[in-house]
């Protein structure tokens, strides 16, 4: 009963419309920035080899056609903002953006994952029923009110991102040793005003603890009306500070804009009015007093099930590391897709040895012959990439006419400033191991 009552609650559709427009705009800026920095060529065309996710090795860059994927992705963001052929646009955006992220595991970032997650969610929400080209053209589509849950799920998703990022910070190194911030902060010693403070130990502790408290508390402070304005101010300060300290690109701006969803619809209407002034189309046409609710025929029932299942998965996936033994930071089994942001300083070297199993003849590989320095850096500390690269080397040298090829790696990794230690068992032939969801017992104990 109560659930049905909740599901039938409505709120202004302006909230979703404002979110849609700003989201599309930020994505467009992000993509243009990516192109302008020359990263398409550097990351997706120049390398000879790309790291894949399990089951997605078919997702590869397409040479010069990769630019086309980016172009389609960029066009779809315009469709999203304008609400023009919205469903097609958001589906296209989700597919192309996710395809791009899956082309090479090297570039994995939580904030790219966040964008895929948001885009997926937005496929199923009535984002284009208000102040959009679609709803302008099609009167049947036009509504002033949408189910409240369709706005709340965006808040919930943002809440998950923050809260889980906060939970991940509740660990010994972060809180007791102020690591890795103690290593990172002195690197920004040349910042104006605060630069000199960043080498102080207490500052690293202050940042570590306040970062943890911020992540855990901010969703609730944004939800509760009395604290909302202050909370948003903190959001802005926090993200701009991280932007100044770390090379995190567009992420801070994206988070700042997304958290606007926590405000009342009045704020979103004001945002739309500002946009209306620029483009000269008022939103009055859309104020038709109509609403769609979950249980009447206006809005597809199945959407709510898809969104529900998706959110339950989002709650569970970050905990999958509990299925693996050993130190999570060391093995990184279950590390990705879990909102573990800026949690460790890890670096390593991996030298691959190619051995002829019959004759014992051996030689080492120069990684720069096959990988970019960025790929080499990422591969050196991540076991799944190490084994994938080992397979690539195995196939490469077998095709070259070498026989009975075995692949061994001598690898060392430093984690959070501890002196580097052996990482992968150097006696294991990695050509015989595979990247699976099972535990990788050839990673040495931390």
Partner 1 sequence: MGCDGDMSDSKPNDLFDRSSMLEHWADGFIIPGYESYLNKIISLEEKSQIFVGNPTVDNLTEIRVAYSYAYSAWQEVSMFEIGKAEELSLRNQTNIYPTNVLLITDNVNTGSYNLELPSNIAAQGFPALDYLIHGIAGTDNEILDQYINSSNHKNYLTDLTTRMLTLTRDVYTDWTTGYRETFIADDGSSASSSVNRMVNDYLFYYERFLRAGKIAIPSGVFSGSPLANNVEAFYSDEPINKYLYINSFTAFRQFFEGESKYTGSGPSLAAYLDYIQVLTNGADISGAITTAMNNVETVSADLGNDLNMQVVEDNSKMLATYDALQVITVFMKADMLSALNISVDYVDADGD
Instruction: List residues binding partner 1 (CB under 8 A).
Output: 37, 39, 42, 107, 109-111, 177, 179, 182-184, 186-190, 196, 199-202, 205, 246-251, 341-342, 345-349, 351, 354, 356, 361-366, 373-374, 376-377, 380, 410, 412-414, 416-420
Q: How far is the CB of 393 from partner 1 (least distance, A)?
A: 13
Q: Which is nearer to partner 1, 55 or 247 (CB)?
A: 247
CA dist 424 → 29, 364, 430 (Å): 41, 16, 10
Q: Which is nearer to partner 1, 277 or 362 (CB)?
A: 362
Q: How far is the CB of 202 from partner 1 (least distance, A)?
A: 6
Q: How far is the CB of 177 from partner 1 (least distance, A)?
A: 7
Q: Which is nearer to partner 1, 8 or 107 (CB)?
A: 107
Q: Look up residue 255 and give its two tokens.
A: 């988070």
The torsion angles phi and psi of 291, rounded to 5 degrees, stand at -140, 155
- Burial degree of 247 (CB within 10 A; 0-12, 13-18, 19+): exposed
Name which of 1, 12, 32 is nearest 270 in CA terms.
Answer: 12
Instruction: Yes or no: say if 345 and 416 are a contact pair by the CB < 8 Å rule.
Output: yes
**CB atoms closer than 10 angstroms to residue 309:** 10
Q: Which is nearer to partner 1, 140 or 358 (CB)?
A: 358
What is the Cα–Cα distance from 243 to 232, expressed in whole angstroms? 16
Q: How far is the CB of 418 from partner 1 (least distance, A)?
A: 5
Instruction: Yes or no: say if 340 and 171 are a contact pair by the CB < 8 Å rule.
Output: no
Q: How far is the CB of 408 from partner 1 (least distance, A)?
A: 14
Q: Which is nearer to partner 1, 266 or 361 (CB)?
A: 361
Helical (H) or strand (E) element with 413: strand 405-415
Q: How far is the CB of 163 from partner 1 (least distance, A)?
A: 17
Q: Which is nearer to partner 1, 57 or 200 (CB)?
A: 200
What is the Cα–Cα distance from 324 to 328, expressed in whole angstroms? 8
């Amino acid at each position: 009963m109560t659930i049905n009552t909740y599901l039938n609650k409505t709120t202004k559709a302006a909230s979703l419309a404002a979110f849609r427009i700003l989201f599309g705009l930020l994505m467009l800026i992000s993509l243009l920035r990516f192109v302008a920095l020359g990263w398409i060529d550097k990351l997706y065309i120049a390398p000879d080899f790309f790291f894949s996710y399990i089951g997605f090795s078919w997702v590869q860059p397409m040479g010069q056609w990769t630019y086309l994927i980016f172009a389609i992705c960029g066009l779809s963001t315009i469709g999203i903002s304008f609400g023009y052929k919205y469903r097609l646009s958001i589906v296209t955006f989700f597919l192309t953006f996710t395809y791009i992220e899956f082309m090479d595991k090297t570039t994995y970032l939580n904030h790219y994952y966040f964008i895929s997650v948001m885009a997926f969610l937005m496929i199923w929400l009535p984002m284009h029923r208000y102040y959009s080209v679609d709803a302008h053209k099609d009167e049947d589509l036009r509504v002033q009110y949408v189910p409240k849950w369709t706005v709340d799920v965006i808040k919930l998703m943002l809440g998950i991102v923050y809260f889980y990022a906060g939970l991940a910070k509740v660990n010994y190194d972060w809180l007791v040793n102020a690591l890795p911030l103690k290593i990172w902060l002195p690197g920004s010693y040349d910042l104006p005003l605060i630069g000199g403070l960043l080498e102080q130990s207490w500052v690293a502790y202050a940042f570590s603890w306040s970062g943890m408290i911020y992540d855990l508390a901010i969703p609730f402070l944004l939800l509760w009306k009395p604290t909302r304005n202050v909370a948003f101010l903190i959001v802005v300060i926090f993200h701009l500070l991280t932007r100044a300290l770390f090379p995190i690109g567009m992420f801070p701006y994206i988070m700042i804009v997304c958290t606007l969803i926590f405000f009342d619809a009045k704020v979103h209407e004001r945002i739309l009015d500002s946009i209306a002034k620029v483009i000269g189309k008022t939103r009055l046409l859309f104020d038709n007093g109509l609403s769609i609710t979950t249980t009447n025929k206006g809005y597809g029932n199945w959407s709510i099930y898809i969104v529900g299942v998706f959110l339950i998965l989002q709650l569970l996936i970050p905990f999958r590391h509990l299925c693996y033994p050993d130190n999570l930071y060391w093995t990184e089994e279950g590390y990705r897709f879990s909102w573990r942001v800026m949690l460790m300083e890890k670096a390593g070297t991996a030298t691959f040895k190619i051995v002829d199993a019959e004759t014992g003849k051996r030689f080492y590989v120069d990684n720069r012959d096959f990988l970019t320095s960025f790929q080499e850096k990422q591969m050196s500390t991540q076991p799944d990439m190490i084994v994938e690269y080992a397979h690539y080397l195995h196939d490469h040298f077998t095709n070259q006419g070498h026989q009975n090829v075995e692949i061994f790696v001598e690898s060392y990794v430093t984690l959070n400033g501890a002196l580097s230690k052996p990482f992968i068992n150097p006696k294991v032939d990695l050509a015989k191991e595979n990247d699976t969801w099972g535990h990788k017992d050839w990673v040495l104990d931390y």
